[in-house]
């Protein structure tokens, strides 16, 4: 007798109940997440793809072997085959989708921003709490190895009390989006929202209290009159005294650039390098190294990490590691930054 | 009607015929490979685990959801449920397992060294050819991002003609193995075999022609009398004039260290950094960064890459990208290095 | 006949008229500059050292072979043996000394800040212009190899139009000064003044137009009530749209840290590493590298460079490369930062 | 009374007896050294320049303000105005010049190689000992900050017992010398001699015992038939078990490359980076940094350091820190490497 029978009993147990996941949105990030779920997350399976463009849904489902493709979100939310959803639809639809999914009893992974108003953030948080579902927000940087190691070092008291922080996001250029189709304040609500969360993540236990922001249209000066801002610097003060800077640009010619720095009474930590491999080339013009061009390359392991954490939280009935409250905090900074640009003054955050 | 039905037709097609893989050997590397196959390789499934220690096989199969666990290789080779095997058994058994697996019509991924004599290497190559199977050898470094990028740059003529090469392997210390249980010449046949292949990989089209080796027992001087060598430097000359150095130690206190350098008429390329993340810490003692401690960390993406390539070769009926001939070439260098140490002289390789 | 006689005629010509320099102030930086002049600047000789503490002056003069040591500035300014002075006295005395030296016809190298009010800055500039002397300000970073290379790359259009800049200064910790003896606003007027100049230097041709500052006592919270600020972040907007951040701390445990970053439409440049040599150590705890502990180590070649430039300007009758106008511009930012902290609002700079 | 008079008494004392130095050879390195002595070494003055091409001597003397220029070495050796000489003449004349200078009672700094036969090395050592002069050899790398820090770390037991070492020299390309004018074995006797000394320097207290060398004409294959070798790899074994590799090429397109690595029971140290500043540029093609093109740039502070040490040894009547014995040891390795190439076998060094 081989050992296989006994083994079978045990080994099929966890595998027989994978978390069945549907993705809502089959765009660039939706496809990235769907592929990760389908291929790289133990204990998860991709069972459905939804996108208003039915063809996109079908193409992605086919490619990844997901049995269901649909143009209708309801098909996903009412399906008994779906345990959890990944919301990667346009940002302004996120809250409604979170609330609907929670009402349907589906666990939710929602791309940032979870909401663009505090009322909506509260609505999403309440819906998740009422439904008792796992609600995780897509602040991917927390799962990037360098950023996670930074936080571990901070927790280990390597930097002492944080005093000066910096987080930046520069999207790869050249910038090709149509400014007319970019919602106003996107740089704060969708781009810098990552940095606002990163600053909180790397200053654990501290609360943001005051925000000053400067923004301009330096990449597309022609679009400034229509309110399109593509370059910004935000100063955030925390209640432990730390002063932080968040910085963003929509167009970095050298690729996707995501970095952080934390300086404190005990030392300094940096995270993020932007390099794509550890290969270096020395040629007639000097040293050269390749840079990462896309977030899905630079942050691949972060994406895998956050989706693994989401599935683990569902399987182990533990709270999400990035919560709706984290999203609300980052949003409160973003909204204060918007107000700061509008008024030209620093803005105090409510308690 | 949802789009799911049409989608189903297409999407289940590839998924319905995954490559069914058994691992022969459930030790450290066997477990690593089995987990990668079970979780991270699209188009593959882990169906069996074999290990002479039945408990080890069962434990691994259970953990990864593989339906078959067995203490007998024959169970695997005779099973209709198995398309391909990963051979991670002790090195000296590799050739016989390759030959048996090929005879059984199973595709083979064999850890290095495929063989420890040229006759065995030829026997493995012939068996694979006769059976028409895919035979891939576990020279993982070819798939490490930095090394792959190095080769791409070399192919793009960035370094011109290679003139000086270097490849090194330093296993993480402190060294805890029992020298009495380490077969003689392991440093050449099992450790530096990686570097010999790397040198050939980074000097494409060139043939090694002459080898000089120096080796000693510097980590465990007490074991030298029994023939245990733990430190070595090998000089390899190629027919395009390039002079290469391969270097190994069994005990690097700072972790697993795998690097290469290629210098040529057009410039220089380096690959490998040894750092585990892009986090840096500046403290009272200066700059600090973490190093990788295990090959399975440092080379994780390389392991995924080589197993993905193996599965792809099977699925697309294309030749393996690392062949038995590559293994034979690296072995010929290793055997010449052994002879060089024995004789104290440089050794010419036969044509 | 040897060739020496003819040679003598030519070779002694330049050497026979070195620029004769006196240093006013024999403290830490005064001593550093005096030693550089005495030993490392071709075409210069240190002829006098002045310090109110006569013993200090004498000790330094003795050590460096300067014939004159005096406790009285007048001795220096009235001496026929002195062509130029280095003003390294306490900051608040700088302007008066510049004016007096100019009136005496001496060329002036003045440590930053040249002045702490705009009226004083104008007074110094006018005095130098009236006297026709060379007036150079000690913005050393312009001469640090990495910063100079950054500017050269910017001039070569490598970054296109600057959009986001950063400059930081962190003094080596732990902080040991007595807060009661540190003049108010020192962090802006004496520390960040370097960064304000660096930002202008790396954004050539642009004019600062708006300043927002945040500052706190995070290193010595106990001294906050007396107005001692040791940590600050300043946002500076320029008329070419660029948004810059300047950041300072009085206490970096890992050493002296001076860096800059310029991001623009064409790419990014960084300058400054903080490492003291190119030696790296990999030990049981990972990678380690030493950091520079003192400005006089990290910026040694910058100090030599700026003093060489000063002497060259005198010898070649060319304008100083860092002028009183540069000092005034940096000061205008510093004063706006002070006002911003006082008012909590951003401050516009006058045209 | 000012303090200047008293000061004068003390301060002129050391300055009144500078070490008066003549340079023998006004070529590229001779000029470099002469300029350093003239400008950058406290307590030294350049009093004479000698070169068989009188015009070269005169031009250099004029530029540096040296009173004596001559085409005749005797003028220098018989001059009462000269305390010490820098020998930067062609390599094969070094020994005779050392002996002659020692006989004339002049302290000697001689560029490597001090000798090209062991008999000559002994002759030079004996001449210096007989005359009681300081004899220092130009192994500049010992004074490069990274290499010096490496040695300090080794002395501090950071790497434990050295087991594997590497030192390399790559001259900046493209190679423009006329092979017909390059003496045979130059790559060992004049280039790798640096690396042989570096390996001894970084393995303190150990003695080289066995050498194996491989060399070829890869830069100028057309010149191989005339014995011109431009690429080499040498393996050196030491009596403490350490195995070292020295590697050289005459043509590195990316600039001058000088690096070392020491691996031992406690960790690893690397020295040398090849980068010219700490500036980095991120552009459309990725990361870029400038490399040093000339030894006189990359090793400038090493040149200053070694000449400062030479002058200090003379002034303080202490032994040279790099001795004739060091030169002899490096030479013994070089000569063994020559013999190894001639015979194709490893060569044992005599005790």
Set of chain A residues whose Cβ sits within 8 Å of the Cβ of D274:
282, 287
Class of domain B141-294+324-348 as given by CATH? alpha beta
- pLDDT-based confidence at residue B119 (cuts at 50, 70, 90): very high
Q: Work out how many CB contacts closer than 8 A connect A with B.
A: 177
Quote the CA–CA distance of C96 and C93 in Å, as a whole number.
Answer: 6
Token pair, residue C272, equals 């400054």
Residue the block writes with tokens 């930081």: C168
Distance from B286 to chain C by nearest Cα, in Å? 5
Distance from CA of D224 to the nearest CA of B (A): 12
pLDDT above 60 for D348: yes
Which of 3.30.1240.10, 3.40.50.720, 2.60.120.10, 3.50.30.30 would CATH assign to domain A4-140? 3.40.50.720
Contact B254 C283 (CB under 8 A): yes
Contact A233 C245 (CB under 8 A): yes
In whole angstroms, give the CA distance from residue A47 to residue A67: 6
Q: Which chains touch D (3 or more CB pairs under 8 A)?
A: A, B, C
B279–A4 CB contact, under 8 Å: no
By the 8 A CB rule, do A240 and A121 touch?
no
Confidence check: pLDDT of A210 > 60: yes
Residue among D160, B284, B293 at smallest CA distance from C286 = B293
| Helix pair A324-343, A192-201: axis angle to 10 deg | 120
pLDDT reported for residue D17: 78
Least Cα separation, residue D271 to chain A (angstroms): 17
The residue of C242, C247, C289 whose CB has the most chain A CBs within 10 angstroms, and thus the best one to mutate to test that interface, is C247
Between chain C and chain D, the number of residue pairs with CB atoms below 8 A apart is: 179
Residue of B nearest to D341 (CA): B346
Nearest-CA residue of chain C relative to D154?
C281
* Residues 6+ positions from A123 with CB-CB distance below 8 Å: A95, A99, A115
pLDDT at B6 over 70: no
Q: Name the residue among C7, C270, C282 with its Cβ closest to that of D58.
A: C7
Domain ranges for chain C:
4-140, 141-293+324-348
Mean pLDDT across chain A: 94
Nearest residue of chain B to residue D168 (CA atoms): B164
Q: What pLDDT is attached to residue C17? A: 78
The vertex-C109 CA angle with C103 and C113, nearest 5°, equals 100
Length of chain A as a residue count: 351
Contacts of D283 in chain A (CB under 8 A): 253-254
- Residue B150 has what pLDDT? 97
Give the fold, CATH level 3, of C141-293+324-348. Dihydrodipicolinate Reductase; domain 2 (3.30.360)
Q: How far is residue C319's CA from residue A289's CA, in Å, rounded to a whole number?
A: 40
**CB nearest D75 (choices: C2, C54, C150):** C2
| Span A139-159, pLDDT tens digits | 999 999 999 999 999 999 999
Mutation choice for D interface testing from C81, C82, C277 by most D CBs within 10 A: C277
Nearest chain D Cα distance for residue B306, angstroms: 27
Does the distance separating the beta carbons of A252 and C232 come in below 8 Å?
no
Domains B4-139 and B141-294+324-348 equal at CATH topology level: no
Cβ atoms of residues C283 and C270 within 8 Å: no
Q: What is the pLDDT of residues D5-21, one digit of tens each?
A: 333 222 333 444 799 99
What's residue C274's pLDDT?
Answer: 87
> Which chains touch B (3+ CB pairs under 8 A)?
A, C, D
d(CA A83, CA A107) in angstroms, rounded, equals 6
Lowest mean pLDDT among A12-21, A264-273, D269-278: A12-21
* Cβ separation B288–C290 shorter than 8 A: no
pLDDT of residue D274: 87
- Chain D residues with CB inside 8 Å of C14's CB? 65
CATH label, B4-139, candidates 3.40.50.720, 3.40.80.10, 3.90.1150.10, 3.40.50.970? 3.40.50.720
The answer on pLDDT for B7 being more than 90 is: no
Question: What is the pLDDT at residue C1?
Answer: 32
- Residues A97 and D278: their CA atoms lie apart, in Å, by 49
User: Counting beta carbons within 10 angstroms of the beta carbon of residue A139, is it exposed (0 to 12), middle (13 to 18) or buried (19 or more)?
Assistant: buried
Per-residue pLDDT tens over the stretch A154-190: 999 999 999 999 999 999 999 999 999 999 999 999 9
Cβ atoms of residues D75 and D50 within 8 Å: yes
Contact list in B for residue A69 (CB cut-off 8 A) is 2-4, 6-7
- A245 backbone dihedrals φ, ψ, rounded to 5°: -120, 130
Give chain C as a 3 state SS string. Answer: CCCHHHHHHHHHHHHCCCEEEEEECCCHHHHHHHHHHHHHCCCEEEEEEECCCHHHHHHHHHHHCCCEEECCHHHHHCCCCCCEEEECCCHHHHHHHHHHHHHCCCEEEECCCCCCCHHHHHHHHHHHHHHCCCEEECCHHHHCHHHHHHHHHHHCCCCCCEEEEEEEEEEECCCCCCHHHCCCCHHHHHHHHHHHHHHHHCCCCCCEEEEEEEEECCCCHHHHHHCCCCEEEEEEEECCCCEEEEEEEEEECCCCEEEEEEEECCEEEEECCCECCCCEEEECCEEEECECCCHHHHCHHHHHHHHHHHHHHHHHCCCCCCCHHHHHHHHHHHHHHHHHHHHCECEECCC
Cis link prior to B174 (omega < 30° from 0)? yes
C264/chain D closest Cα distance in angstroms? 10
Mean pLDDT of B260-279: 96
Asked if this assembly's ipTM is beyond 0.85, the reply is: yes
Chain B residues closer than 8 Å to C282 by CB: 252, 254-255, 257, 274, 291
Burial of D174 (0-12, 13-18, 19+ CB in 10 A): exposed
What pLDDT does residue C157 have?
97
Lowest-pLDDT choice from A127-136, B307-316, C339-348, D8-17: D8-17
Task: Give the pTM.
Answer: 0.93
pLDDT of residue A9: 27
Q: Does B245 contact D251 at a Cβ distance shorter than 8 Å?
A: no
Q: Do C69 and D6 touch (CB under 8 A)?
A: yes
Q: Are C102 and C129 in contact (CB under 8 A)?
A: no
Residues ≥6 apart with Cβ < 8 Å to A347: A210, A211, A212, A336, A337, A339, A340
Strands A162-172 and A208-216: unpaired
Amino acid C39: pLDDT: 87
Give per-10-residue mean pLDDT for chain C (351 aa).
32 59 97 94 93 96 96 96 97 96 98 97 98 98 97 97 98 96 96 98 98 98 96 98 98 97 98 93 96 93 96 96 98 98 95 64
Q: Do A214 and C235 touch (CB under 8 A)?
A: yes
Mean pLDDT in residue range B273-302: 94
Calculate the CA D144 to chain-centre distance. 11
Q: What is the pLDDT of residue D351?
A: 64
The architecture of the domain spanning A141-298+323-348 is 2-Layer Sandwich (3.30)
CA-nearest of C311, C259, C338 to C107 is: C311
Closest residue by Cα to residue D195 from D245, D241, D231: D245
Question: What value does the mean pLDDT take over residues B80-109?
Answer: 97
Q: Which residue has the higher pLDDT, D199 or B7?
A: D199
- Predicted pLDDT at B207: 98
Partners of residue D172 on adjacent β-strands: D252
The alpha-carbon gap from C166 to the nearest alpha carbon of chain D, in Å, equals 14
D232·B243 Cβ contact <8 A: yes
Which of D149, D241, D263 would best serve as a mutation to test chain B binding (most B beta carbons within 10 A)?
Answer: D263
More confident residue, C133 or A42: C133
Architecture of the domain spanning D141-298+324-348:
2-Layer Sandwich (3.30)
Q: For D262, which DSSP code? A: E
What is the helix (H) or strand (E) element at residue A45, kind and residue range?
strand A44-50
Q: How far is B10 from chain A (nearest CA, A)?
A: 6
Query: Closest by alpha carbon to B114, among B35, B22, B197, B232?
Result: B197
Q: What would the mean pLDDT of A220-245 be, rounded to a whole number?
A: 97
Q: Count CA atoms within 13 Å of residue C71 on its CB side.
A: 9
Q: What is the mean pLDDT of residues D139-163?
A: 97
What are the strands, taking DSSP E only, across D101-179?
A: 107-110, 135-137, 162-172
């Amino acid at each position: 007798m081989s050992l296989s029978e006994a083994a079978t009993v045990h080994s099929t147990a966890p595998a027989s109940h994978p978390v069945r996941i549907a993705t809502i949105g089959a765009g660039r990030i939706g496809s990235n997440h769907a592929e990760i779920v389908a291929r790289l997350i133990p204990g998860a399976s991709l069972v459905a793809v939804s996108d208003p463009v039915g063809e996109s849904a079908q193409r992605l489902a086919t490619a990844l072997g997901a049995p269901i493709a649909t143009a209708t979100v309801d098909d996903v939310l009412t399906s008994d085959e779906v345990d959890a959803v990944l919301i990667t639809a346009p940002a302004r639809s996120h809250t409604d989708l979170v609330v609907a999914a929670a009402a349907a009893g589906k666990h939710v992974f929602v791309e940032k921003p979870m909401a663009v108003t505090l009322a909506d953030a509260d609505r999403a948080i309440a819906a998740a709490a009422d439904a008792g579902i796992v609600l995780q927000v897509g602040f991917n940087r927390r799962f990037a190895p360098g950023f996670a190691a930074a936080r571990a070092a901070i927790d280990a008291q390597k930097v002492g009390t944080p005093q000066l922080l910096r987080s930046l996001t520069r999207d790869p250029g050249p910038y090709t989006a149509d400014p007319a189709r970019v919602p106003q304040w996107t740089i704060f609500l969708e781009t810098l929202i990552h940095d606002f969360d990163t600053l909180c993540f790397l200053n654990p236990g501290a609360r943001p209290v005051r925000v000053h922001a400067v923004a301009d249209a330096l990449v597309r000066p022609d679009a400034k009159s229509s309110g399109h801002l593509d370059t910004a610097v935000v100063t955030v003060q925390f209640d432990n005294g730390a002063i932080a800077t968040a910085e963003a640009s929509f167009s970095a010619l050298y690729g996707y650039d995501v970095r952080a720095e934390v300086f404190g009474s005990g030392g300094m930590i940096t995270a993020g390098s932007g390099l794509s491999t550890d290969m270096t080339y020395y040629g007639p013009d000097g040293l050269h190294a390749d840079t990462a061009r896309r977030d899905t390359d630079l942050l691949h392991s972060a994406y895998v990490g956050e989706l693994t954490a989401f599935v683990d939280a569902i399987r182990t009935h533990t709270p999400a590691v990035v919560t709706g409250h984290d999203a609300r905090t980052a949003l409160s900074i973003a909204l204060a930054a918007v107000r700061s640009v509008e008024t030209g003054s620093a803005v105090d955050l409510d308690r």
